[in-house]
Amino acid sequence: MNTKKKNKTRANIDLNNNSQTGSKHPWLHPFDQNHLNSRADDYFRDVSYYLNLQNIYKVVDTCYYNEQMDYVPVLVQIMQEKVKQSFGGAEYLLQVWHSQTKKQIFQTSFNVKQYQIFEDYLVCAYHDMKLVFIKVKNQNLQRAKDDIRADELPQLTYQCQLPIQALLLLKISEKVDGDKKLVQKLIIAFETNQNLLDFNFIIIPKTENDKINISFNQARDVFPRPLAEPDPLVQCVIRVMLTKFNNKQKYLIQGVTRRKSGSVDLYSNMMFKHTF
């Protein structure tokens, strides 16, 4: 009984016909230098592309100063928003590399969203809506020359109920002992359920012991607005600006927020003004 061998075909190409296959895919001619992309490395070079890692990560600092060090710690800033989201909204990465193998052996993300130095306190706002107040005795944090072990200092962790969008300082004119003076205030901006900014003063009473107590005073009334569906903030820019009018100076807070839908809200003097 005579049997006829069937040729295998795929995508209209006879796989048993090398000349036909080669004509369809010129990179399969490994010895013919007249064909463009005739070698495997040429082919893979054409189908691959390079990424500029500096557009994704920015090396901020390192304390590697001796070639005899086995480990290289590096502080890296995340530049791309999508990469930040993959690390839970973290702004920075702390990486440790082995100096001999050139391999990364450790990495952790920093979820501190914002921080401020207010009087004798280091105040940190986290992406998980936590506020941490760290008290430093008898020294100004801005002039501290020695390393500060935050875990050994009195501190208070406060769990907020709303997302934190900003933490800033503002100088306000107040009467102190009968005279008007510029007094520095610590202000926090929350995102409400209607995706509006709610500005509050953070009050930290003076105490003789290490106990830390805080309270919030709302800076402006917030009037709710009806939304068909949640429209969370994706970008928030707030600036403290110095204004001059009739030879008088005044510091004002101006803000712009962009929501997921693309709508933009404007704020002036900590009050919602307009949306478009």
Q: For 195-232, how does the pLDDT look when each residue is reduced to its tens digit (9 = 90+)?
A: 999 999 999 887 777 677 889 999 999 998 888 789 99
Q: Which residues contact 192 (CB under 8 A, 6 or more apart)?
A: 162, 198, 222, 224
Q: Name the percent of the chain lying above pLDDT 70.
A: 78
Whether 91 contacts 113, CB under 8 Å: yes
Beta strands 179-191 and 155-159 are: unpaired
CB atoms within 10 A of CB 186: 21
Q: Name the percent of the chain lying above pLDDT 90.
A: 25
3-state secondary structure of 103: coil
In the numeric block, the tokens 């004798």 are attached to 120
Distances (CA, A) of 114 to 72, 91, 108, 127, 172: 26, 10, 18, 9, 22
Is the overall model pTM greater than 0.85, yes or no?
A: no
Q: Which helix (H) or strand (E) holds 84?
A: helix 81-86
Mean of per-residue pLDDT scores for the chain? 79
- Cα 202 → chain centroid: 23
Question: In this predicted structure, what is the pLDDT of residue 9?
Answer: 43
Question: In this predicted structure, what is the pLDDT of residue 144?
Answer: 47
d(CA 172, CA 220): 15
Terminal Cα-to-Cα distance of the chain (whole angstroms): 83
